[in-house]
């Protein structure tokens, strides 16, 4: 989704955690054309927030950054045109997921997921093939982004849930954010500040 910048990370180390050397940074595990770090002007708040919380807790242990998708798709996601990145992420950890069939879906869902090689002619697009099975899962994976369940097809999510369950059975601990309004959160034009969807899609916060 968004991208960290080293300048702000170093400012945090200097002011709050002087035991962590300047220029300390995550091990890059870039997926499908992803890039990091970026400039302070283009950085997002989520990534840098996560790192400034995690580094003081685990240092001198290392962080691996699984950064998904190239700058064009990242911009589309931040602008609300693309809500998904789990398929490309899971496929990079488990090559079989790239062709896994379940609940009427085989491989990535082109109407929801980034397409590789990217058919767009925009500068900066990733022209390489979809990366499958290129990284080993870390022992702990923290995912601090949300996408409301009501916004995505049930079969799409169930297929991913099978893969997360498989990772858990392999001993991988996965931590998910619950979103600002909670696990039933949902954002749309009628609920720009978020909603908590209950029975019959009624907003429990209204």
Assign 3-class secondary structure to the chain.
CCCCCHHHHHHHHHHHCCCCCCCCCCEEEEECCCCCCCCHHHCCHHHHHHHHHHHHHHCCCCCEEEEECCHHHHHHHHCCCCCCCHHHHHHHHCHHHHHCEECCEECCCCCCCCCCCCCCCCCCCCCCCCCCCCCCCCCEEEECCCCCHHHCCHHHHHHHHHHHHHHHHCCCEEEECCCCCCCCEEEECCEEEEEEECHHHCECCC
Predicted confidence (pLDDT) per residue in 57-104, tens digit: 999 999 999 999 887 777 666 555 556 669 999 999 999 999 999 999
Q: pLDDT at position 8, please?
A: 96
Q: pLDDT at position 76, please?
A: 61
Q: pLDDT at position 168, please?
A: 97
Out of 17-31, 64-78, 152-166, pick the least confident: 64-78
Q: pLDDT at position 1, please?
A: 65
The better pLDDT of the pair 115, 165 is held by 165
pTM attached to this predicted model: 0.87
Question: Is the pLDDT confidence value at 113 over 70?
Answer: yes
């Amino acid at each position: 989704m968004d991208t960290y910048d080293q300048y702000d990370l170093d400012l945090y180390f200097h002011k709050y955690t002087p035991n962590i050397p300047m220029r300390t940074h995550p091990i890059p595990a870039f997926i499908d054309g992803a890039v990091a770090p970026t400039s302070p002007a283009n950085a997002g708040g989520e990534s840098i927030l996560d790192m400034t919380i995690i580094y003081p807790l685990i240092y001198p242990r290392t962080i691996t950054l699984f950064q998904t998708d190239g700058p064009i798709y990242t911009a589309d996601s931040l602008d609300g045109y693309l809500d998904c990145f789990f398929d490309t992420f899971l496929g990079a950890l488990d090559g079989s997921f790239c062709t896994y069939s379940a609940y009427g879906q085989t491989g990535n869902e082109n109407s929801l997921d980034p397409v590789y090689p990217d058919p767009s002619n925009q500068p900066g697009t990733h022209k390489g093939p979809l990366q499958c099975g290129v990284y080993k899962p870390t022992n702990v994976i923290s995912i601090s982004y949300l996408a409301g369940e009501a916004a995505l097809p049930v079969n799409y999510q169930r297929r991913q849930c099978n893969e997360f369950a498989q990772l858990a059975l392999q001993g991988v601990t996965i931590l998910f954010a619950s979103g600002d309004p909670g696990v039933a959160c949902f954002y749309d034009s009628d609920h720009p500040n978020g909603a908590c969807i209950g029975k019959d899609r009624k907003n429990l916060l209204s």
